[in-house]
Structure 1
Amino acid sequence: MNIDEKIGKIEPKIKEPSFLENKGLSNEVGYYIFDYDPKYELKVREEVSRLTNKYSSNSSYPFSIVEFDLYEIIIDILNQKGYLEKVFKFEEKKGIKFTTKAIINLLKLNSDKNLIVNYILERTPNNCVVFLTGVGKAYPILRSHNVLNNLHQKLDEVPVVMFFPGKYSGRDLILFNTIEGSNYYRAFPLIHR
């Protein structure tokens, strides 16, 4: 299936009653991954924007779509805490690896108090579908499996779709089709090939 056909299946899928009832296969919580070749990033962004606008919270549809761009969340949190400019200066002095580690610690990405997960939880209304975007932009600070694993433990009332620029085998996430990630077993492919 080509990318246009795959993108065209997103809207019918998210309107299915079983999807909206937040039941995946075997009645597990509905976490889904829409994987795509990174060269189609702009096409996918365009469709996400179209769907988010169409199903906004003030529409006549029975659900809304809430998009969370993971990169924008990182910037917002750093800005709110007054660290954004400090991070730029820190990177100049210490380098990207050291800065990335410092941001991971600041955002508490490896703990139960994960600030990105809390940010999403605090802004997720009832009767919505959550779209997670910005996975590629947030790398290497944020790894998608980290967000999914932590979010899965706390958010189970609404379906969640991660838009992933790479491959998802149903088991493994491979960012940009080259960077192997940790396994993530709880998500289902949004569109089956």
Structure 2
Amino acid sequence: MANLNRRLDQIIPKIQQDKFIDGRGLGNEISFYVFDYEPAEELVVRDYVKHIKKEFNYEGSNRKIIEFDLYKMMLDIAKERKVFDRIFDMEERQGKQALFKAMTTFAKPDIFLQKIQEQINKYNIVFITGVGKVYPFVRSHNILNNLQEILDKTPVIIFFPGKYDGHSLQLFGKFKDDNYYRAFRLVD
């Protein structure tokens, strides 16, 4: 826990740096960062994300953070598509495989990206959360790979319950996602 707190305390100073917001120092790469952590520390990280947003989202701040919780987004999409009320019944009657298939028909990266693009206008930093809660319906590497098309100049921090070694994402320290080489570890 002490190590997590030390790492969390480094996030705000990083965001305050001009090179963070300008994307400098990354060899002209996109400004995508991963803050990985032990899944058991999820609630501490969630609280700290709220703290970070309060630190920057005030009138006159030159840093405006928007958080996209993938799980909440998925539920909103299900409600918009009028399938939310049928989810539990479907799982009970048809089983988990049928539910998974039904959910993945509308939980596609392009739908999430469209929602992000619609809401990003006055913000200059994006937080992606809810990665563990939305698994296996939405995979973080799919979001990251597609997000670069719409947010190539906006810094993105994905809060990832698992391990990121700079080359691959390992959700919960167990499930290896496809390789993702374009993100940097936010804090070592």
Using the size of structure 2 for normalisation, the TM-score is 0.94
Aligned partner of 1:108 in structure 2 is 108
* TM-superposed deviation, 1:80: 1.6
The code of the aligned residue for 2:136 comes to P
The aligned counterpart of 1:14 is 15
Contact 1:78 1:84 in 2 (8 A): yes
Measured at CA, do residues 7 and 136 of structure 1 come closer, stay the same or move farther in structure 2, by a change above 3 Å?
Answer: same
- Tell me the equivalent position of 2:86: 86
Structure 2 vs 1, CA of residues 125 and 23 (structure 1 numbering), >3 Å: closer, same or farther? Answer: farther
Matched to 1:131, the amino acid is: F
Mapped contact 1:129–1:160 kept (Cα < 8 A): yes
What CA deviation, in whole Å up to 9, does each residue of 1:43-73 have, x standing for no partner?
11111001112322x4221121101100000
**Distance in 2, Cα, partners of 1:62 & 1:71:** 28
Deviation string 1:88-127 (CA, Å, 9 cap, x unpaired) is 2221122222212221112334xxxx11111111111245
Give the aligned length.
187
* Counterparts of 2:55 and 2:76, CA distance in 1: 25
Q: Over the residues paired in the alignment, what is the CA RMSD in angstroms?
A: 1.5
Residue type at the aligned position of 1:101: K
What residue is the counterpart of 1:50 in the other structure? Answer: 51
CA contact (8 A) 1:166 1:177 kept: yes
Gaps of 5+ in 2: none
CA positional deviation for 1:15:
1.0
Cα distance, 1:24 vs structure 2: 5.5
Change (3 A) 1:86 1:24: farther
3-state secondary structure, aligned to 1:125: coil
- Structure 1, unmatched stretches of 5+, are none
Q: Does the Cα contact within 8 Å between 1:23 and 1:29 map onto a contact in 2? A: no
Q: Which residue does the alignment assign to 1:33?
A: 34
- Partners in 2 of 1:41 and 1:159 — Cα distance? 22
Report the TM-score when normalising by structure 1. Answer: 0.91
C-alpha distance after superposition, 1:10-48 (max 9, x if no partner)? 000111111101346101110000001111111111110
**What CA distance in whole angstroms lies between the structure 1 residues aligned with 2:77 and 2:16?**
32
Deviation at 1:139, TM superposition (A): 0.7
Task: Determine the C-alpha separation between the residues in 2 that align with 1:86 and 1:104.
Answer: 15
